[in-house]
Amino acid sequence: MSIQVGDSIPSMKLMQGTAEGPKEIGTDELFGGKTVVVFGVPGAFTPTCSAKHLPGFVTLAAEFRAKGVDAVVCMSVNDAFVMGAWGRDQGVGEDVVMLADGAAAFTKALGLELDLTARGLGIRCQRFAMVVKAGKVSHIAVEAPGAFEVSRAEAVLAAL
């Protein structure tokens, strides 16, 4: 069963690609006492993720901050180097924190894994977006396979 509104974010580690190399970041630090929008994508550099999903959150980053969001986080089952390169390629700057869940441990703990082995991609993250307030989920939207509607930046902004 996937994570639901009212559930606590599991205490785990994710990785962030930085200029100094990969940096570990704990979910307690990331979500504790803050309002965070986190969206998950099946893969960095993939068509919908690169052309629509991530750019929407970059474009609306100031509007999220204006609504009290402390951070916007993009997460994928990729490594920190790939996520860092994708962030640079997309020009996210400080607007979106790019986090890697390389072994899909966090994705599985959320119950949001997607088996794309038949397509040569292995275990990935479903496309989703959620709002986390002080470590608890206050809104979650998981896309149906192939859809891109409920996890769009505009939809999440409207849910705040």
d(CA 156, CA 160): 7
CA distance 135 to 156: 17
Q: List strand residue ranges (DSSP E) for the chain, in order.
A: 13-18, 21-26, 35-41, 71-76, 97-100, 113-116, 122-125, 128-133, 136-142
| Residue from 41, 49, 112, 137 carrying the catalytic annotation | 49
Do strands 71-76 and 13-18 pair parallel, antiparallel, or not at all (unpaired)? unpaired
Catalytic annotation on 49?
Answer: yes
**Side chain identity at residue 68, one-letter code:** G
- The set of catalytic residues is 49
